[in-house]
Every structure is written in C-alpha cells, then in structure tokens.
C-alpha cells in the first residue's frame, strides 16, 4: 500500500526536477536560437529583395485575401530609407512529393526582383531538385507584367525536362505571389 503513494511521488519528483532543469537550459539557449532563426530569415529575405535594408512582417494581412491565397503563408514589406521598395512572399506550393517552399521578392513595379527556392526536399533527387539550381531561379527575375508561363522561345521561362511538376509548382507559387502583391496594393 505504501508503494501506491511512493512510486508516483518519486517519479513526479524526478519529472519536476527535469522540467526545472530544462526550463533553465531553454532560457540559456532561447535567445541564441531565436537570433539564429531571425538571421537566417533576414538573409533569405535580402536575397529575394536585395534593394530593401529592412523588412516589416505583414503576414497578418494575408488571411483577408481569402482561401485562394492560403499557400502564401508569410509576407514582408521591404523598406529602404523609409520608403517601400517591394514585398517578399513565402509560398508553399504542392510539388511532386510534399510542398516546395519558395520566397518571391517583388519590387514596386510589380515585377519579380528575385525568386529563391528554400526547400525542395520532397522532389526527386537529380530531376525535381534542379529547381534549386541558379539558372532556373534567376530566369524569373524581371518577369511579372503578365501571368507567368513556360515557353520555348528566347527570353521565355524554361521548364525542366523530367521535372515538370516541380517546375510548375514554382511557377504557380510565383504567380500566386504576384497576385497577392496586386491584391495588397489595391487595398
């Protein structure tokens, strides 16, 4: 009968000490972990919109755009010298195996400043993962007057042979970001 009390009490005591210890470790490392995450985000945003020196989080406005934009999960306004120079959207579009994470930077004229594929972990190695190659991402820069599509002529966006689904996912995300940009501007 004594065990009925003793066993849970000992276990609870050990758990309490463990929880206390972890709270302390969490306090010690939390600041560094958050700083790293913020740094990584800022670096990625700077790649997507090089003109901006500062980014304001405007993700809170995204739900108001409606269900069509649910793949756009983050939005940042790029600012330089106190004036808006563009926006960056984080879009997660369905790829061949899981989501493809893309950052799309759009300047004030409504054209793509730069596009960066953040994660293509679910895409086929050697084929789908080609969307992370510089030539594929760089060809989006400067485009965006009209909805993007792939083509074969000079100056047109090149699709990747054998990785149509992955490439189309990036294209769709870029178009979605361009639309979101327009919607936000009209508001």
- The footprint of another protein (CB under 8 A) covers 3, 6-7, 10-11, 14-15, 18, 21-22, 25-26, 29, 32-33, 36, 40
What are 115's strand-pairing partners? 104
CB of 157 to another protein, least distance (A): 31
H or E stretch covering 77: strand 72-80
Nearer to another protein, 16 or 68 (CB): 16
How far is C-alpha 59 from the chain's CA centre?
11
CB of 34 to another protein, least distance (A): 9
Nearer to another protein, 29 or 156 (CB): 29
Nearer to another protein, 33 or 64 (CB): 33
Nearer to another protein, 26 or 182 (CB): 26
Nearer to another protein, 60 or 125 (CB): 125
Cα–Cα dist 127/37, whole Å: 29
Q: Which two tokens stand for residue 22?
A: 């972890």
Cα–Cα dist 114/111, whole Å: 9
CB of 42 to another protein, least distance (A): 14
CB of 115 to another protein, least distance (A): 23
CB of 2 to another protein, least distance (A): 10
What are φ and ψ of residue 78, in 5° steps?
A: -90, 130
Longest dimension (CA), the chain: 84
Backbone torsion region of residue 105, taken as left when φ is above 0, otherwise alpha when ψ lies between -120 and 50, otherwise beta? beta
């Amino acid at each position: 009968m004594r065990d009925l009390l003793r066993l849970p009490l000992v276990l609870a005591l050990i758990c309490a000490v463990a929880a206390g210890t972890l709270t302390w470790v969490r306090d010690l490392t939390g600041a560094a972990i958050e700083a790293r995450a913020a740094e990584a985000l800022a670096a990625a945003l700077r790649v997507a919109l090089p003109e901006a020196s500062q980014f304001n989080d405007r993700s809170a406005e995204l739900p108001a755009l409606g269900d069509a934009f649910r793949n756009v999960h983050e939005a940042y306004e790029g600012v330089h010298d106190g004036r808006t120079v563009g926006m960056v959207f984080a879009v997660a579009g369905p790829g061949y195996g899981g989501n493809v994470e893309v950052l799309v930077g759009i300047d004030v004229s409504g054209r793509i400043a730069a596009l960066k594929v953040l994660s293509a972990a679910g895409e086929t190695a050697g084929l789908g993962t080609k969307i992370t190659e510089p030539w594929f991402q760089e060809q989006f820069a400067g485009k965006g007057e009209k909805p993007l599509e792939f083509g074969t002529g000079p100056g047109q966006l090149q699709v990747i042979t054998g990785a149509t689904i992955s490439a189309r996912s990036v294209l769709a995300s870029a178009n979605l970001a361009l639309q979101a940009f327009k919607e936000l501007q009209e508001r």
